[in-house]
Amino acid sequence: MARPTISERASSTAAGNELPADEADAAQESLTGRPRPARKSSRSAEPRTPRRRKRIEAKRTAILDAALALFSRHGLHGTSVEQIAELAAVSKTNLFYYFGSKDEVYVAVLSRLLDQWLDPLRSLDLDSDPVAGIGEYIRRKILFSRTHPEASRLFCFEIVQGAPLLRRELETSLKQLVEAKAEVIRAWTAAGRLAPVDPHHLIFAIWATTQHYADFASQIDALLDTGLDDEAFAEEAARNIQRIILDGIRVRADR
């Protein structure tokens, strides 16, 4: 039997906890993007207002942000629910209104992370200039490593462990997106707009070089006394990675 996806597992959280009716509805919609199915009630629920929804989403975001910070440093098993609640400035009971367990929090963090991580790759488009498009993809990946270093490290941590909670997503949504973008790169090559290159190895090279700056930040700091928190260094890193990779795939007359 196929394991449920991250989003399927996460969507069970709001439905399984004893939230007040209106807050459970809002939490379910926040998790899945779909309204919770209507149900009969012997009492009228308090109206769901934009202010209430905003408050619920803000609290859920605070929990996920706190969990990300802790999971990226200590891993799933080295982090406690109490630590997450304390860092998010919510009670443990309140945290369980939104997530049924620590594993559910971890799953929700990974779900949000994967969507953010894939977003720059979605921008590669057949109609765009190949060199400009791939150059922009590199720039956005460095920007993600700079602005979301903890997310990058947690993703790396999950993959190194064998992707126990991400495996199905890697084999479905990630694989489908990579294959779609590989076809774009093949089409560029076939049209003579890029030098011959294997699309998968090109994508892997971009991932490896750009994510290195977040995942191995301590090593970079030890060697250079700087890192991506320095905007000038981040720009320098992006320019050099672009030069190294783009010069290898740019069409030249002598080829």
Q: pLDDT digits over 23-53, tens only?
A: 444 454 444 444 444 444 333 445 568 888 8
Per-residue tokens: 217:
């930040």
| Whether the predicted pLDDT of 219 surpasses 60 | yes
CB 119 within 8 A of CB 181: no
Cβ–Cβ under 8 Å, residues 228 and 222: no
Residue-wise pLDDT for 99-117, tens only, equals 999 999 998 998 888 888 8
Is the pLDDT assigned to residue 139 strictly greater than 90? yes
Of the candidates 4, 10, 9, 35, which has an alpha carbon nearest to the alpha carbon of residue 21? 35
pLDDT at 11 over 70: no
- Looking at residue 21, its pLDDT comes to 46
Q: How much is the pTM? A: 0.74
| Whether the predicted pLDDT of 205 surpasses 70 | yes
Say if residues 249 and 202 touch (Cβ distance below 8 Å). Answer: yes
Q: Which of 16-25, 85-94, 133-142, 191-200 has the lowest mean pLDDT?
A: 16-25
Q: Among candidates 9, 8, 18, which has minimal Cα distance to 96? A: 18
Q: Which residues contact 101 (CB under 8 A, 6 or more apart)?
A: 81
